[in-house]
A and B are shown apart, each in its own frame.
Chain A
């Protein structure tokens, strides 16, 4: 039981974030998901099946929570999101993906782009601030970041073999 929780809780949290939960909501739903699963005698399956089962429970918990809040079920298409996640993020809760992304940041990204990404994601700089720091037009920043993400996506997916 402890092994199951420790091995998968981070992945489920990431998955819920991916489905559009804010961090606090993801915290709650991760707990609900595991408590739901642990209430039944848990069947030990292959890691892939276990991860998929947990994701399914998490999705259902999310839907139930949204129903309770009387909110629109979710902004994104859950089925399509699950398909994308299952394909590239897989059984280890994004770990491989993150490792690959890290490598790609080292290898496939120019220092300038790297700087832009750091400003955006680490320093939470606005586009205008990034533009100022890199001495470029605000419009250019948007394109630069979009291309960077696209290149990273290609690189990562190549690395994780999808």
Chain B
């Protein structure tokens, strides 16, 4: 049965039998390197922070890192003997001591139960399996800690030579409160029950994502914008956001993984902005046009919904400026899954097909050591680009800091005046060696953006996605953040949007809306929670804001409580020393509901320009509004339902479906139909 006809496989099977026999009969057991590894790992952080400057900017630094790390670990272990022999200390340190003492002196260690340290000794010798499960390291334990050995019961080797030495110790390390299950009769049962519980814990964590410094996807907590009374807050200021990552991420949760997304993964403005709306482009030489529309609010009777739409001017294919693109690819081990590096490679091959001879592409990879996989190459040399892509392999860990420096340097060296100069960071997670902190990265990315090299971030996969950090650094780098959940999205972002995402037509685009207190009692900006600016930032040209690309549309919705409607916001006591501001007489007379002000800078400019657009409300019912208005409001309602928003009013999945399918329009690419599918899926998931 197991004899296969493949000789190569047979040979490998023989090899395995041979190896197993060497262990079972010959006593060639694996050494126990745990303590050595743990000690080295503990020092690793220390060493890597000490060596930060040295590692950065050098290729091949990884190997040196290891040797220095090993030397430092040895020194520290030695130091540990001197320092810690006087203190009953933590488990791992105590182990270091035992190991070091044993391996150097080969004498019994009196203070703890004997622990065989047979690791560096050659030839290998059989290891006695009875490790004492003595109560060590109590100070560190958060939960009940216990140990057992020989999980399989009778795993004693032949001829009295034990070959399986397995010991599991659950302690505070895992951060899961562990205690022996009460109804377990045998160790095997204990193991089984614990594993099941562990799995539950893990999947429960995955549901919500995790906090910083932990594995798992990371999402920043979002607090929804509340209703603001116009009396106290006449101005609403925010930065535009053209990201769409949240939509693709939500789509993956719903359609592929069949579960509701964690609320903090849902950024409503990114859901709305995923779709193109049919706004007219600008006619004169301004980079974009603004369109305002108002109608009844579909989820709250009496409220009004105001939509602000910006449309960037189109750039024809033949007028597109040359591109200098540097892809910074994470090729760490975790990228080695079909939805990560292989998907990225496919997407980049599609892009390679679109490049012209004036375009340049380079590929920088980062893992244990950063490296240049493809020097800056003309778009005409497609084969060369594709060959470089084919050679990429995932492996090693992430050293993003050094990689990003190299990528920026190459972008700078090949800078095209008047062209698109951009670093595209493609990753599934973190940077954690070199420029480590998000703060450092932000500062660096900000500096580089000022010099004309912008940054885009493409997120991939699940498990370690640092959504929060990726969004932050793409914002700082005058870039955008997209989540690639499949080849369709890869094509949309890398091929279809190449005109939009990559050709920035205006930067630091800020929106400020002044509401007329004679018309509006309160308002609420839907989404854009992490894009809110202070009112004074609007005129401050030093304050960074979002970019808009060629042909891009940006949409924002306000839910407005008209003057005279009851507003449900906590009241503030009347001021003792000031009279409350009163609307100006001409405001009362004005029919204007609000004035939209937009500030932007030319892509290479430093001073902003201001555009103003007043809105006069016509009092239209929702049914009279434009198709795009209706569709956007359905998407907003969908987002609120997914977030479990307190402002969702009477919104239901059914209502969303009804509005969205009526307002779907021609839907050439099928994106809107896909939304309907997502709504249906969310509806059925939420019923469970």
Binding site for B on A (CB under 8 A): 1-3, 5-7, 9-11, 13-14, 17-18, 23-24, 26-27, 30-32, 34-47, 53, 56-57, 59-60, 63-64, 68, 76-77, 80-81, 83-85, 88-89, 94-95, 97-99, 101-102, 105-106, 117-118, 120-122, 124, 149-150, 152-154, 156-158, 162
| 0 or 1 for each of B157-190: is its CB under 8 Å from A? (1 = yes) | 1110001111111110110000000000000000
Other than the known A40-B332, A41-B214, what 15 A-B pairs have Cβ atoms closer than 8 Å? Answer: A6-B169, A9-B30, A13-B33, A27-B119, A31-B37, A39-B397, A40-B397, A42-B215, A53-B334, A89-B16, A95-B155, A98-B163, A102-B158, A121-B24, A156-B17
Residue of A nearest to B43 (CB): A35
Q: Which residues of A contact B41 (CB under 8 A)?
A: 1, 5, 34-35, 38
Asked if A95 and B166 make an inter-chain contact with CB atoms under 8 angstroms apart, the answer reads yes
Residue of B nearest to A157 (CB): B2
Asked if B333 and A60 make an inter-chain contact with CB atoms under 8 angstroms apart, the answer reads yes
Residue of A nearest to B37 (CB): A34
Offer 9 A-B interface pairs, CB within 8 angstroms, sorted by A.
A9-B30, A26-B30, A27-B31, A31-B33, A41-B464, A84-B12, A94-B23, A149-B17, A154-B1
The CB with the most chain B CB atoms within 10 A, among A5, A27, A44, A106, is that of A44
Asked if B333 and A56 make an inter-chain contact with CB atoms under 8 angstroms apart, the answer reads yes
Smallest distance from the beta carbon of A127 to chain B beta carbons, Å? 15
Q: Which residues of B contact A120 (CB under 8 A)?
A: 25
Asked if A30 and B37 make an inter-chain contact with CB atoms under 8 angstroms apart, the answer reads yes
B9 at the interface (CB under 8 A from A): yes
Asked if B37 and A5 make an inter-chain contact with CB atoms under 8 angstroms apart, the answer reads yes
Residue of A nearest to B119 (CB): A27
Complex-state Cα separation, A33 to B554, whole angstroms: 46
Complex-state Cα separation, A63 to B429, whole angstroms: 24
Smallest distance from the beta carbon of A116 to chain B beta carbons, Å? 11
Binding site for A on B (CB under 8 A): 1-3, 8-9, 12-34, 36-38, 40-41, 44, 48, 63, 66, 69, 91-92, 119-120, 122, 124, 152, 155, 157-159, 163-171, 173-174, 195, 198-199, 202, 213-216, 332-334, 336, 368, 393, 395-398, 429-430, 432-433, 463-464
Q: Which residues of A contact B23 (CB under 8 A)?
A: 14, 94, 98
Asked if A121 and B37 make an inter-chain contact with CB atoms under 8 angstroms apart, the answer reads no
Complex-state Cα separation, A97 to B166, whole angstroms: 14
Asked if B2 and A10 make an inter-chain contact with CB atoms under 8 angstroms apart, the answer reads no
Complex-state Cα separation, A94 to B25, whole angstroms: 15
Asked if B66 and A117 make an inter-chain contact with CB atoms under 8 angstroms apart, the answer reads no
Smallest distance from the beta carbon of A61 to chain B beta carbons, Å? 8
Asked if A40 and B169 make an inter-chain contact with CB atoms under 8 angstroms apart, the answer reads no
Q: Which residues of B contact A59 (CB under 8 A)?
A: 395
User: A40-B398, A99-B152, A117-B21 given as contacts; is B16 within 8 A of A56 (CB)?
Assistant: no
Complex-state Cα separation, A98 to B151, whole angstroms: 14
Asked if B34 and A2 make an inter-chain contact with CB atoms under 8 angstroms apart, the answer reads yes
Residue of A nearest to B216 (CB): A43
Q: Which residues of A contact B12 (CB under 8 A)?
A: 76, 80-81, 84
Asked if B429 and A40 make an inter-chain contact with CB atoms under 8 angstroms apart, the answer reads yes
Among B17, B36, B37, B120, contact of A152 (Cβ-Cβ < 8 Å): B17
Complex-state Cα separation, A39 to B124, whole angstroms: 29
Asked if A95 and B30 make an inter-chain contact with CB atoms under 8 angstroms apart, the answer reads no
Among A46, A77, A149, contact of B21 (Cβ-Cβ < 8 Å): A149
Asked if A57 and B9 make an inter-chain contact with CB atoms under 8 angstroms apart, the answer reads no
User: A9-B30, A53-B333 given as contacts; is B216 within 8 A of A162 (CB)?
Assistant: no
Smallest distance from the beta carbon of B431 to chain A beta carbons, Å? 10
Smallest distance from the beta carbon of B51 to chain A beta carbons, Å? 13
Q: Which residues of B contact A11 (CB under 8 A)?
A: 30
Smallest distance from the beta carbon of A40 to chain B beta carbons, Å? 5
Asked if A2 and B25 make an inter-chain contact with CB atoms under 8 angstroms apart, the answer reads no
Asked if A10 and B395 make an inter-chain contact with CB atoms under 8 angstroms apart, the answer reads no
Among A56, A99, A162, contact of B336 (Cβ-Cβ < 8 Å): A56
Smallest distance from the beta carbon of A33 to chain B beta carbons, Å? 9
Residue of B nearest to A152 (CB): B17
Smallest distance from the beta carbon of A53 to chain B beta carbons, Å? 7
Among A2, A106, A152, contact of B169 (Cβ-Cβ < 8 Å): A2
Q: Which residues of B contact A94 (CB under 8 A)?
A: 20, 23
Asked if A43 and B464 make an inter-chain contact with CB atoms under 8 angstroms apart, the answer reads yes
Asked if A162 and B2 make an inter-chain contact with CB atoms under 8 angstroms apart, the answer reads yes
User: A18-B19, A31-B33 given as contacts; is B169 within 8 A of A121 (CB)?
Assistant: no
10 closest A-B pairs by CB? A60-B395, A43-B215, A121-B25, A13-B30, A157-B2, A10-B30, A121-B26, A84-B12, A41-B215, A38-B41
Asked if B26 and A18 make an inter-chain contact with CB atoms under 8 angstroms apart, the answer reads no
Q: Which residues of B contact A77 (CB under 8 A)?
A: 8
Q: Which residues of A contact B44 (CB under 8 A)?
A: 35, 38-39
Residue of A nearest to B176 (CB): A44
Smallest distance from the beta carbon of B234 to chain A beta carbons, Å? 45
Asked if A68 and B63 make an inter-chain contact with CB atoms under 8 angstroms apart, the answer reads yes
Complex-state Cα separation, A17 to B395, whole angstroms: 20
Asked if A6 and B3 make an inter-chain contact with CB atoms under 8 angstroms apart, the answer reads no
Q: Which residues of A contact B163 (CB under 8 A)?
A: 98, 102
Asked if A149 and B33 make an inter-chain contact with CB atoms under 8 angstroms apart, the answer reads no
Asked if A23 and B16 make an inter-chain contact with CB atoms under 8 angstroms apart, the answer reads no
Residue of A nearest to B124 (CB): A23
Asked if A102 and B24 make an inter-chain contact with CB atoms under 8 angstroms apart, the answer reads yes
Q: Which residues of A contact B171 (CB under 8 A)?
A: 2-3
Smallest distance from the beta carbon of B371 to chain A beta carbons, Å? 12
Residue of B nearest to A59 (CB): B395
Complex-state Cα separation, A39 to B51, whole angstroms: 14
Complex-state Cα separation, A37 to B398, whole angstroms: 10
The CB with the most chain A CB atoms within 10 A, among B48, B91, B202, is that of B202
Asked if B18 and A149 make an inter-chain contact with CB atoms under 8 angstroms apart, the answer reads yes
Residue of A nearest to B195 (CB): A47
Smallest distance from the beta carbon of B186 to chain A beta carbons, Å? 16
User: A43-B215, A153-B17 given as contacts; is B173 within 8 A of A2 (CB)?
Assistant: yes
Q: Which residues of B contact A102 (CB under 8 A)?
A: 24, 155, 157-158, 163
Q: Which residues of A contact B216 (CB under 8 A)?
A: 43
Among B14, B15, B36, B432, contact of A31 (Cβ-Cβ < 8 Å): B36
Complex-state Cα separation, A5 to B19, whole angstroms: 22
Asked if B395 and A122 make an inter-chain contact with CB atoms under 8 angstroms apart, the answer reads no
Q: Which residues of B contact A162 (CB under 8 A)?
A: 2
Complex-state Cα separation, A118 to B159, whole angstroms: 10
Among A40, A152, A158, contact of B432 (Cβ-Cβ < 8 Å): A40
Complex-state Cα separation, A42 to B15, whole angstroms: 32
Asked if A63 and B120 make an inter-chain contact with CB atoms under 8 angstroms apart, the answer reads no
Complex-state Cα separation, A13 to B34, whole angstroms: 11
Complex-state Cα separation, A7 to B165, whole angstroms: 10
User: A84-B9, A117-B25 given as contacts; is B40 within 8 A of A35 (CB)?
Assistant: yes
Smallest distance from the beta carbon of A124 to chain B beta carbons, Å? 7
Residue of A nearest to B151 (CB): A95
Complex-state Cα separation, A104 to B342, whole angstroms: 42
Residue of B nearest to A37 (CB): B397
Complex-state Cα separation, A39 to B464, whole angstroms: 13
Among B120, B214, B430, contact of A27 (Cβ-Cβ < 8 Å): B120
Complex-state Cα separation, A97 to B397, whole angstroms: 30
Asked if B20 and A154 make an inter-chain contact with CB atoms under 8 angstroms apart, the answer reads no
Residue of A nearest to B21 (CB): A121
Complex-state Cα separation, A57 to B335, whole angstroms: 11
Complex-state Cα separation, A40 to B167, whole angstroms: 24
User: A10-B30, A84-B9, A154-B2 given as contacts; is B14 within 8 A of A5 (CB)?
Assistant: no
Complex-state Cα separation, A106 to B21, whole angstroms: 13
User: A35-B40, A43-B216, A56-B395 given as contacts; is B33 within 8 A of A121 (CB)?
Assistant: no
The CB with the most chain A CB atoms within 10 A, among B12, B171, B463, is that of B12
Complex-state Cα separation, A59 to B198, whole angstroms: 28
